[in-house]
Chains A and B, each alone.
Chain A
Amino acid sequence: MNAATLPAPRVSLLRCYALEARNEFLRLLRAPSFALPTLLFPPMFYLLFAVLFNNRGGSFQANVYLLATYGVFGVMSPGLFGFGVTVALDRERGWLALKRALPMPPGAYLASKLVMAALFATIIFVILALLATTLGGVRLPAGAWLSLYAADLFGVLPFCALGLWLGSLVSGQAAPAIANLIYLPMSFLSGLWMPLSVMPAFIAKIAPLWPAWHLGRLALAAVGQAPGEAIAPHVAALAAFTLVFVALARRRLARG
């Protein structure tokens, strides 16, 4: 047999990425303790605070404001928990080391988790949009919906980066608790549950420290709740957060 006449078999990167993403999806699907709270909390809160307890009046439109901010709240958790907890577990149990020793295409591991986070963000966006238009009485032009979705998708990046850094630092057991310690206070301090205008002034003053605040401003600007807001500084801040978190995580995970 003449081996030279046969084309050398090649690795299909597309197949690696697809299988990696499929396995990541199955892992999340089979861990309902992650998937259910992530998918249900933002719509549940929206239903409670924007639909049931919403006294319409004044200039604050809770139904529109909270559509934007609970969307951001929904973007944060697949990044923080999906990345933070699974990376911490994979690292602690040696699965990450094995994958790095195997000829896995270097981007496949992170890409699959990123795609899952974007998928969860999309599902949450769709559920919130359905609730807002049917029960919340929200009417927005198509352009606003698109801008809101674009902001949510972009927002996946800094929180995945933060989750990755978290996962590179802490143990698998500690990761969920620490992710919650970041998730809930940051959401509150960034005005995702109620506008910062109703809170003490110093909370508004330190808000630019939180990536969630910047993303919240982008989402609110998309739905017309932040008139005159400049977009570029927030986009730049989120990009900077992403780069810094990725750099910190890379340093932790670097080959020794």
Chain B
Amino acid sequence: MQQARSGTAVAWRGASKRYGGIVALDGIDLEVRGGELLALLGPNGAGKSTAIALALGLLRADAGEVMLFGRAPAELEARRGCGVMLQSAGLPDSLKVRELLELTRSYYAAPRGLDDCVGMAGLDGLMDRRYGRLSGGQQRRVQFALAICGAPRLLFLDEPTTGLDLDARTMLWATIRRMVGEGCAVVLTTHYLEEAEALADRVAVLAGGRIVACGSVQQIRARVSQRRIRCVSALDAARVGAWPEVRSVCRDGERIEIVTDYAETVVRQLLFEDSGLSQLEVQRAGLADAFVEITREAA
């Protein structure tokens, strides 16, 4: 187990891919080890799906390479260690969930039991239903079940929780955490930054086919120094906005919200000018703020 945890599951080394004249991926270097979850973030067209397609052997890199467990992704033996959930996968409507699961399990040497898959993906009562008659959220859960049914050591999840309700998302998160705890490596792309915040050990931000930031969620957040101040105050928003340390102000009823890089200075000034100020809150930038900032800098 210890060995499985420390080994490199997937590595991109100078991987590039262009479609015609458009550079989709411009020499990225990344590595994910067992027991680690990497979130790939980036605006649409940043190269996330291309990075995953290269790792799965669906596309070939123009330059550089991608290795799965030290092998080429085109090798069946390499992919036998992987589970996959793609962003757009229309499974055959007329097949029942059980039939889809049985087939996908047969591709793996030591798959999970069917009951395990049902429990981990929340498929209770769905096994004998046809795929085409399931709701969008239920179909997503079936796709997730296909991704984990082989007991993979490396899991690719491309936008796994799009279209899921809150309960289903929470359950999927729990399953993903459990698998990471058992030594599985996970590569996740998501539009939901709170998902990356909740799950990821590391975050890589892609923009224009390059990695523009990579590190822990804390490190990424720390790249952005801005903080948010909220309070109930009678001060004139326009006047506060004129202070040199303040980036932006907006008033929402009796509350004002201030964005600044120098929270201490601004708070001192606020308290000095408005003795009636109440309900003061100071918040660090979330991953979402950092993400917006980093991708704007990169653009």
Residues on A facing B (Cβ under 8 Å): 8-12, 15-16, 19-20, 22-23, 26-27, 30-31, 90, 92-95, 97-98, 100-106, 255-256
Residues of B within 8 A of A101 (CB): 56-58, 79, 82, 84, 86, 156
The answer for the CA separation of A16 and B79 in the assembled complex, in Å, is 15
- Judged by a CB distance under 8 angstroms, whether B110 is at the interface is yes
Distance in angstroms from A1 CB to nearest chain B CB is 11
Residues of A within 8 A of B95 (CB): 23, 26-27
Distance in angstroms from B97 CB to nearest chain A CB is 12
* B86 touching A103, Cβ below 8 Å: no
Could you name 21 residue pairs across A and B whose Cβ atoms are closer than 8 Å? A9-B110, A11-B108, A16-B106, A19-B103, A19-B106, A22-B99, A23-B100, A26-B99, A27-B94, A92-B90, A93-B88, A94-B86, A94-B88, A94-B90, A97-B58, A98-B91, A101-B57, A101-B82, A102-B84, A103-B76, A103-B108
Distance in angstroms from A9 CB to nearest chain B CB is 4
The answer for the CA separation of A94 and B76 in the assembled complex, in Å, is 19
* A102 touching B92, Cβ below 8 Å: no
The answer for the CA separation of A102 and B108 in the assembled complex, in Å, is 9
- Judged by a CB distance under 8 angstroms, whether B192 is at the interface is no
- Judged by a CB distance under 8 angstroms, whether B102 is at the interface is yes
The answer for the CA separation of A26 and B102 in the assembled complex, in Å, is 14
* A255 touching B106, Cβ below 8 Å: no
Residues of B within 8 A of A10 (CB): 109
* B102 touching A19, Cβ below 8 Å: yes
* B107 touching A105, Cβ below 8 Å: yes
Residue of A nearest to B143 (CB): A98
Distance in angstroms from A205 CB to nearest chain B CB is 43
The answer for the CA separation of A98 and B89 in the assembled complex, in Å, is 7
Question: Given A23-B95, A106-B76, is A11 in contact with B58 using a C-beta cutoff of 8 Å?
Answer: no
Interface centre among A11, A90, A98 (most CB of B within 10 A): A98
Main secondary structure of the interface of B (DSSP, over half): loop
The answer for the CA separation of A101 and B83 in the assembled complex, in Å, is 9
* B89 touching A97, Cβ below 8 Å: yes
Residues of B within 8 A of A9 (CB): 109-110
The answer for the CA separation of A30 and B118 in the assembled complex, in Å, is 25
Q: List residues of B (133-155) whose CB comes within 8 Å of A's CBs.
A: 146, 150
The answer for the CA separation of A62 and B58 in the assembled complex, in Å, is 52
Residues of A within 8 A of B100 (CB): 23
The answer for the CA separation of A113 and B95 in the assembled complex, in Å, is 15
Residues of A within 8 A of B146 (CB): 98, 102
* B108 touching A100, Cβ below 8 Å: no
The answer for the CA separation of A158 and B57 in the assembled complex, in Å, is 29
* B92 touching A95, Cβ below 8 Å: yes
Residues of A within 8 A of B82 (CB): 101, 103
